Amino acid sequence: MKPEFSGIDRRLERLNECLSKLEPLTDRSLEEIKEDPYLEDVIERNLEVAAQSCIDISNRIISLEGFKKPADYYQAIEILGENQIIPGDFAAKLAPIAGFRNLLVHQYLDVDQDEVYRHLKDLGQLYQFRDYIRVWLSEENSSAS
């Protein structure tokens, strides 16, 4: 792997760790989660780190590729879609995770557990992002050979 991709690879690993922790919890009911503050914390933290991983990966690719600088985290994901790193329609669906991450980080006193639960039940987008980035990394590494 090219050295400039090591940061992306580390963040993909971290995203994968978060998904591994979250996946077994997807069968829990909203009521079970709301009754267990430790479970709430585990889910919130891993969703936050997963979202941040996607944002950091997006910004690193933007920097490596010399794409226009994003105005915010939301736009960072959109820029990957605009430049066919990930499909544009997928980027539009995933980009709101940046706002969700901001809620978890900055409005932690009033976290809406219903919204957290919706994100827990929709881990598929995070898996898709991971897979699209793995394909991009593979193509970039093979073109360097």
CA–CA separation, 129 vs 12, rounded Å?
10
Predicted confidence at residue 144, as pLDDT, reads 58
Q: Domains in the chain and their CATH numbers?
A: 3-144 (1.20.120.580)
CA–CA separation, 96 vs 47, rounded Å?
13
The model carries a pTM of 0.92
Q: Which residues of the chain have pLDDT under 50?
A: 1
Specify the amino acid at residue 60: R
CA distances from 44 to 58, 89, 97 (A): 21, 26, 13
